[in-house]
Chain A
Amino acid sequence: MQRRKMFTFITLFGISMTLSILIVLAAFYEHIFSASYPEINRDRCLYATLLEEENTKESGMRRGPMSLFYINTYIKTLKTPEKVAYSTVPNTVNTYGNGKKISLFFKYTDPIFWEITQFEFLEGKPYTQRDIDNNESVAIINDETRDDYFGKNVSAIGKTIEINGQYLRVVGVVRGCPITRLVVAADVYMPWHLQKRASVTNELNGNYTAIILAKTPADLPKIQQEYADLVPRIPLSETGGFKPDKLNTSLSSYFDSIVRDMFFGAGGSSARSRFYLFVVVFALLFMSLPAINLVNINISRILERASEIGIRKAFGASAQTLVTQFVIENIILTLFGGMVAILISAVFLWWFNNSNLIAYADLAVNWTVVAVALTLSLVFGLMSGVYPAWRMSRLPAVEALKG
Chain B
Amino acid sequence: MIHLKNIEKVYRTDTVETLALNNITLQIEKGEFLSIMGPSGCGKSTLLNIMGLLDEPTKGQINLDTQEISDFSDKKLSRFRNQKIGFIFQSYHLINDLPVLDNVELPLLYRDVSSAERRRLAAEALEKVGLANRMKHYPSQLSGGQKQRVAIARAIVGQPEIILADEPTGNLDSAMGNEIMEILENLNRADRTTIVMVTHDENMARRTHRLVRLFDGSLVSSNTFVN
- What residues make up the interface of A, taking CB atoms closer than 8 Å to B? 3-4, 307-308, 310-321, 396-398, 401
Contact = CB atoms under 8 A, between A and B. Distances in A.
B107 interface: yes
B54 A3 contact: no
A317 B74 CA distance: 10
B87 A314 contact: yes
Given A319-B74, A397-B54, A398-B49, A314 B95 contact: no
A313 B77 CA distance: 10
Dominant secondary structure at the A interface:
helix
A320 B75 contact: yes
Given A3-B97, A307-B93, A397-B55, A313 B49 contact: no
B178 interface: no
Given A396-B54, A397-B54, A315 B87 contact: yes
Given A313-B54, A319-B74, 8 more contacts: A311-B95, A311-B106, A314-B54, A314-B87, A315-B106, A319-B78, A398-B55, A401-B93
B185 to A, nearest CB: 23
A315 B81 contact: yes
A251 B97 CA distance: 65
Contacts of B82: 315-316
Contacts, number: 60
B79 A314 contact: no
A314 B52 contact: yes
Interface residues of B, number: 26
Contacts of A310: 93
Contacts of A316: 78-79, 81-83, 107, 110-111
B55 A4 contact: no
Best-surrounded residue of B78, B82, B89 (most CB of chain A within 10 A): B78
B47 to A, nearest CB: 12
A216 to B, nearest CB: 62
Contacts of A319: 74, 78
A-B pairs with lowest CB-CB distance, top 4: A316-B82, A3-B97, A318-B78, A316-B110
B178 to A, nearest CB: 26
Nearest to A320: B75
Given A4-B97, A311-B93, A316-B111, A321 B78 contact: yes
B123 to A, nearest CB: 18
A189 to B, nearest CB: 66
A7 B68 CA distance: 43
B56 interface: yes
A358 to B, nearest CB: 48
Interface in B88-128: 89, 93-95, 97-98, 106-107, 109-111
